Structure 1
Amino acid sequence: MPRILIVGGGYAGFYTAWKLEKWLRAGEAEVTVVDPLPYMTYQPFLPEVAAGSIEPRHSVVAHRRHLKKTTVITAKVTNVNHATKSATITPAVGEPWEFEYDHVVVTAGAVSRTFPIPGVADQAIGLKTIEEAVAIRDRVLTNFDKAAQLPAGPERDRLLTFVVIGGGFAGIEVFAELRSFASSLLKSYPQISFEETHFHLIEAMGRIMPEVSLETSHWVIKNLSQRGAEIHLDTQLTSAVGGKIELSTGESFETDLIVWTAGVMANPAIVRHTDLPIEERGRLQVRTDLRVGTEDVIIEGAWGAGDVSAVPDLSGGGVGGFCVPNAQHAVRQGKLLAKNLVATIRGEGTKEYLHKNLGAVAGLGIGHGVFQSGNLAIKGLPAWFAHRGYHGLAMPSWERKIRVVWGWVNNFFLGRDIVSLSAVQDPRAVFEEYAARPKPPAAAAPAAAPAVEAKAPRAPRKVAAKAAPKKDAAQTVADKREAAAVSAK
């Protein structure tokens, strides 16, 4: 029976496995998914998770719950050697082992792409994982708690200043959601005024959101400006050392939260450890039918999709002729890849990937959104409903859809949950602080060398002198006479 190895359980990997379960006949192939995380993250929801609008666990999909016929391995693939059709699987605990396959599907996704700007690696946080989104939410809440107890001054300003780097869809969405989140918190923190909260977005280009028209992007800037957020265009971050932001315009201010959304790159853990062909931008080289190779050369038994792959965009809308790295393409590529893989196993022909986006939709905080389809632009509340409607339906599985929509309904009536769980980063701190520990054994006294103790001399005993016996008178006269005679001689 053919063995199919799927490297990565994100959008493309999860949907490939999900559809293979549906389309493969019993006993037709054995499918294995390897990913260091036991879940798929629905990344379009990360800005709302960061703003407390969605429960974090509701925006992820557990592999083992929804992949019933697939072998799920929670580990890393650290090398793919297609010449021998084997992959090295390295678990968190235990020794690595070799996995032999007949077909490999590389869907390892992407990671944040950064530049060697001083301080970014030490101070900034990305927005590619659910853990990052939760940490951003907790940081905002914790900073409000701290700032509410401080007098006006530099430290209070630093805690209430929030910075986002990158003006693409992800950057604008998290920036707008955080502005909305902070505004909603003010009623719970009467010590903090609206004017004391500062939001800055830094974009190196002369515009934001290239997926929408220039006019629509100007409306977004104006909307955010009216809500107390500042966007710096044609501006580069030059330093973030110690949380001090220095810009190419000469401006400088301090912050306690820097969110980095300025681009992604193919997962280097895979593309740097494989003999499969990699194109000049560091992505897996993939054909239009999602097989690895070029239009003239096919690497048999190797497939790729999602952000890790350079998939040609036949619609003509891609940057440089390739599909842009987003959720829409990854989901659809995963579905087609599963169909083509099944067709190949059965000796049938494959189909080319062709998808033309009908439009772009973004949420900009509660009640604010934007939708662009061709020359049609919808802004404000209707676009916000369109955003939630689209992503609510796009969330995989009805179980997840219901949880997400039910959470939105709860928030409408009850408001956002504003509890910070930042202590979860060090969950044993309180236990360790008060835990009783055994007392250290008493130190034994050092053994002394045997020695004879010198005794102090005793004081002489005083003995009362006895009175001499009295002499009689005759004896006394005799003694005197004898003494006189001796003297005379």
Structure 2
Amino acid sequence: MRRILIVGGGYAGFYAAWKLEKRLRSGDAEVTLVDRRPYMTYQPFLPEVVAGSIEARHAAVSHRRHLSRTRLVAGMVTAIDHAHRVVTVAHVDGHGIELGYDVIVVTAGAVTRKFAVPGIAEQAIGLKNVEEAVAIRDKLLTAFDLASGLAPGPRRRKLLTVTFVGGGFTGVEGFGELLSLATALLKRYPEVSRDELRFHLVEASGRILPEVTDRPGRWVVNSLERRGASVHLNTQVTSTVGGHVVLSTGEEFDSELIVWTTGNGVNPVIGRHTDLPVDQRGLIVVRPDLRVGTDDDPVPDAWAAGDDAAVPDLASPVPGALTVPNAQHAYRQGKLLARNIAATLKGKRPRKYLHHSLGAIATLGIGRGIFQYGRLVITGLPAWLMHRGYHVLAVPSWERKIRVLAIWLTAAVFGRDIVSLASVQHPRAAFVTGGESTVPTESVSRTAE
């Protein structure tokens, strides 16, 4: 049997393995998928996980539940040596192993792009996986709990200040949903007033949501500002040391929660630890049929797709354009990977990837959204309902669809669950301290009566 190794279990990798199981008989090939996480993250749901509109596990699709005939390896590929058909894997328990293969499928995805901004590594959090989304939500809820017991002052003001850096879809959706959650919390926290909330969205360019045209983009900015947010365009963050945010415009403020969503960065494994061809940005060079290489210099038995691949966009009128790194493309590229790999194993010709955009849609909080397809623009409640309808259909498996629908219906009746589980990040703390306070007695200040 041919050994097919899939690097990464995100959108493209998961769908490639899932569809290969359906297209290949048990004796045709042995499929192995390597990923350090045991699930595929349905990233369009992360903003709603942030807002508490969806349970965290419902945005994760289990590999083992759906990939019954695929060998799953819990680890991260750290090097690819295609010349010798072997990859090096850092197993989750710390030891390294090598895996051989006949055909490799690279769908490792991208990482959050970071810049050399002082304080970012220590203060900021990304929004690319479920754990980050949960941590953002819990941090906001904890901030409300702490602020409600403090007198007005710098510490309280910092706790109630949120900063998102990056005005792409991830940043804007996460920002809008978290703002919706914070506003909803006010009726449960009478000690906190609406005027005390400070939400800042910082974007280096002159507009947000580059996937939509200028007018809808301005509508989103105006919508956020009407809800009390501050949108800083043509602005960069120059420092976040100690949670003190400094902007290139000279404005400064303290922020307890800083979320960094400035786009995709090159996966270091793909950029520096493989002999597969990469372009100047560190993306794997692929042909329109998703095989690695070029028409003049093909790489046998190697395929790639998703955010770590430079996939030609045949639907674009711009020569040399590449598909944008989003879920819409990764999902379809993963399915085509399975189709084309199965076809080549049976001596057939693979198909080229061609997908015309279905438009852009974003959620901005409960009852708020925006959709654009060509010149058609829909905003508000209808767009929000379209967003939910589209994604409940797109999330894989009926099991996940039903779970998501159930939690939405429950929330519509009883509202969001506002319990913070931030302590789960330190599960042994209560056991270790034995109930003793970790705050020194001499540091406790007396509240003025």
What CA distance in whole angstroms lies between the structure 1 residues aligned with 2:155 and 2:21?
55
**Cα RMSD after superposing both structures:** 1.4
Cα drift, residue 89 of structure 1: 2.2
Q: Is the 8 A contact 2:114 2:265 kept in 1?
A: no
Cα drift, residue 122 of structure 1: 1.1
Q: Which letter maps to 2:132?
A: E
Aligned length: 436
What CA distance in whole angstroms lies between the structure 2 residues aligned with 1:90 and 1:251?
43
Cα drift, residue 318 of structure 1: 7.8
| Unaligned 5+ runs, structure 1 | 437-489
**1:292 maps to what in 2?**
292
**1:420 maps to what in 2?**
420
Q: Secondary structure at the match of 2:355?
A: coil
Cα drift, residue 53 of structure 1: 0.7
1:168-218 C-alpha deviation (Å, 9 max, x unpaired): 111110111111000000011000000100100001111111111211111
Matched, 1:430 2:430: yes
Q: Secondary structure at the match of 2:182?
A: helix
Cα drift, residue 75 of structure 1: 1.2
**1:459 maps to what in 2?**
none
Q: Which letter maps to 1:104?
A: I
**1:328 maps to what in 2?**
328
**1:112 maps to what in 2?**
112
**2:98 maps to what in 1?**
98
Q: Secondary structure at the match of 2:142?
A: helix
Cα drift, residue 257 of structure 1: 0.6
What CA distance in whole angstroms lies between the structure 1 residues aligned with 2:248 and 2:318?
30
**1:212 maps to what in 2?**
212
Q: Secondary structure at the match of 2:83?
A: coil
What CA distance in whole angstroms lies between the structure 1 residues aligned with 2:305 and 2:193?
48
**2:55 maps to what in 1?**
55
Q: Secondary structure at the match of 1:134?
A: helix
TM-score when scaled to structure 1?
0.87
Matched, 1:277 2:310: no
Q: Secondary structure at the match of 1:75?
A: strand
Deviates more, 1:413-422 or 1:427-436: 427-436
Cα drift, residue 405 of structure 1: 1.0
1:120-157 C-alpha deviation (Å, 9 max, x unpaired): 11111000111000000000000000000011111111
Q: Is the 8 A contact 1:77 1:270 kept in 2?
A: no
Cα drift, residue 60 of structure 1: 0.2
1:16-48 C-alpha deviation (Å, 9 max, x unpaired): 000000001230111000101111100111111
Cα drift, residue 100 of structure 1: 1.3
Q: Which structure is larger by alpha-carbon Rg, 1 or 2?
A: 1
**1:373 maps to what in 2?**
373
Q: Which letter maps to 1:280?
A: Q
**1:157 maps to what in 2?**
157
**2:349 maps to what in 1?**
349
Q: Is the 8 A contact 1:11 1:331 kept in 2?
A: yes
Q: Which letter maps to 2:401?
A: K
**1:136 maps to what in 2?**
136
Cα drift, residue 410 of structure 1: 0.5
| Unaligned 5+ runs, structure 2 | 437-449
Cα drift, residue 295 of structure 1: 2.5
**2:364 maps to what in 1?**
364
1:324-352 C-alpha deviation (Å, 9 max, x unpaired): 11001000000001111011111110110
Deviates more, 1:288-297 or 1:382-391: 288-297
What CA distance in whole angstroms lies between the structure 2 residues aligned with 1:301 and 1:162?
47
**2:443 maps to what in 1?**
none
What CA distance in whole angstroms lies between the structure 2 residues aligned with 1:426 and 1:418?
20
**1:39 maps to what in 2?**
39
> Aligned pair in 2 of structure 1 residues 318, 76: CA closer, same or farther (>3 Å)?
farther
> Aligned pair in 2 of structure 1 residues 14, 239: CA closer, same or farther (>3 Å)?
same
What CA distance in whole angstroms lies between the structure 1 residues aligned with 2:267 and 2:148?
41
**1:440 maps to what in 2?**
none
What CA distance in whole angstroms lies between the structure 1 residues aligned with 2:15 and 2:354?
17
1:434-459 C-alpha deviation (Å, 9 max, x unpaired): 299xxxxxxxxxxxxxxxxxxxxxxx
